[in-house]
Structure 1
């Protein structure tokens, strides 16, 4: 998933509470200011017992950050937030648990993504997806994940996919959503072995493991992708650079008339992603912007022959 995985050992984190608009702006600005391979950012709604709901920003660093420099960057968006920012160090086993504290359940269509502390929030006729503290990040609170969940719901209103592919599965939340909604086979891959192991455990806990084939694979060259395709629905919630790199092999895996969902894109990156996939015969159907992140829904030309 986009939100990333902090490094082995300790994680350095900056956290600050801020109004919703400032929180989103801070997360986006810091996300653009650092290497995404070294820094993971998230803005999310929190439960503030004294004042009701609020928002927070958390930024995880692979190395101990220069606190003065980070505060200067935050101050460009909000001087008040820069002054209030707090820095700390978390053990690897604790960092996700800390990030989940106070997170409200996320509702998208029939899906309710929640932690174990909010199991009671899943009402009748809803699909609960429980994401507990683990070693991969992806709780459903990020705008990219919400955009992909919305795209899954929209696809389901038209038809049921015979096969779904989730590239960059992270905690497995999108793979589980597709498996629980459609009850059809899903292939879920990730470049990170820890993410794959975590996603598999999450799927078992959510009674969604049976339809999902988990795969540790960088890129799409593994023969499993071809053998289990073609795919009517492809979900790729990663980043612009890898999205562009996999455009050609991904297009070869899409069934005629299939849907491809691309996310992990800032508004300034969306056109570059569209150009890469348009060159492979995939065309824009819908563009969603949620919390400053863009999700693109593309369709394969039903008239072209599928290339095995």
Structure 2
């Protein structure tokens, strides 16, 4: 299925800020936003804004320019249609496997390089957020690896699952069912495909949901562990709902926030009785492990 994409090129800090703003204010439904390096050691980073087949590249760019206004004045902005198959082939080509504790995220070209003592997670799609090559996904995997040394959570929710990496990791490490959700239908499709690719489709259920309102999400709470690898704005807005979804003594692993956003996110969760027990910073992205205590 063809997908429209608008790309904005900017320095790292500006690109990260633009991705945050775009994810919060774009008026379009089912828009995915990702930020990444253009190539190693290049000062320019890239913000990719994807929309489904019902919007043309020209209309997508028009919406992006209207939403971001002066924030992107003078920046290189490009829009085009991409075919899923072509994008998938290009997205992971040449990328090295990503180790994160007991996990190794890789493409098909590195399937033979997974150590026997590691949980290999094969990812072949990048139209959804989270291939493991980004500091947020790797940070969450490392946080989860650390948490598994202390506890074995039974009920797990991966909120904003993207490619499904975290849900797949949990299903592989623990051997039981995991629930994932995403607001973006493309991400839901990709996460389900990746679960099947990794032979955990019978243990990973992915639902299309906006926030925590889906009946299946509500019906399975409270959870022992909630992953929320999204962005700082949604993390703050969802703090009360996430707190209600976690059992007393349960954990939340948060990422998608930059170092300068950490204080705001911590405060939002502290007021809900979720206190930090571990922090990791990778490439200016923060991952927090929180534990729910009494408010």
Above 0.5 in TM-score? yes
Counterpart of 2:11 in 1: which secondary structure?
helix
Q: Could you tell me whether the CA contact under 8 Å between 1:43 and 1:142 is conserved in 2? A: no
Q: Could you tell me whether the CA contact under 8 Å between 1:137 and 1:171 is conserved in 2? A: yes
Counterpart of 1:63 in 2: which secondary structure?
helix
Match of 1:249 among 229, 236, 241: 241
Name 1:10's counterpart in structure 2.
Answer: 4
Name 2:29's counterpart in structure 1.
Answer: none
Q: Distance in 1 between matches of 2:289 and 2:125?
A: 30
Q: Distance in 2 between matches of 1:109 and 1:145?
A: 12
Deviations 1:131-155 (A, max 9, x none): 0136423211000001100111011
Match of 1:213 among 200, 205, 208: 205
Q: Distance in 2 between matches of 1:31 and 1:72?
A: 17
Name 1:197's counterpart in structure 2.
Answer: 189
Q: Over the residues paired in the alignment, what is the CA RMSD in angstroms? A: 2.8
Name 1:76's counterpart in structure 2.
Answer: none
Name 2:115's counterpart in structure 1.
Answer: 123
Q: Could you tell me whether the CA contact under 8 Å between 1:41 and 1:58 is conserved in 2? A: yes
Q: Distance in 2 between matches of 1:96 and 1:12?
A: 17
Name 2:68's counterpart in structure 1.
Answer: none
Structure 1: which 5+ residue stretches go unaligned? 1-6, 16-24, 47-53, 74-84
Structure 2: which 5+ residue stretches go unaligned? 27-32, 50-59, 66-70
* Alpha-carbon shift at residue 118 of structure 1 (Å): 1.0
Match of 1:290 among 262, 267, 282: 282
Match of 2:128 among 131, 136, 143: 136
* Alpha-carbon shift at residue 279 of structure 1 (Å): 0.8
Counterpart of 1:209 in 2: which secondary structure?
coil
Q: Distance in 1 between matches of 2:196 and 2:167?
A: 12
* Alpha-carbon shift at residue 249 of structure 1 (Å): 1.4
Deviations 1:74-130 (A, max 9, x none): xxxxxxxxxxx9968451423343232211110001111011111111121111100
Q: Could you tell me whether the CA contact under 8 Å between 2:195 and 2:201 is conserved in 1? A: yes
Q: Distance in 2 between matches of 1:10 and 1:193?
A: 14
Match of 1:106 among 98, 120, 132: 98
Q: Distance in 1 between matches of 2:80 and 2:127?
A: 16
TM-score (norm 1): 0.78
Q: In structure 2, do the counterparts of structure 1 residues 173 and 140 end up closer, same or farther at CA, with 3 Å as the change threshold? A: same
Deviations 1:36-64 (A, max 9, x none): 33653113876xxxxxxx67844324528
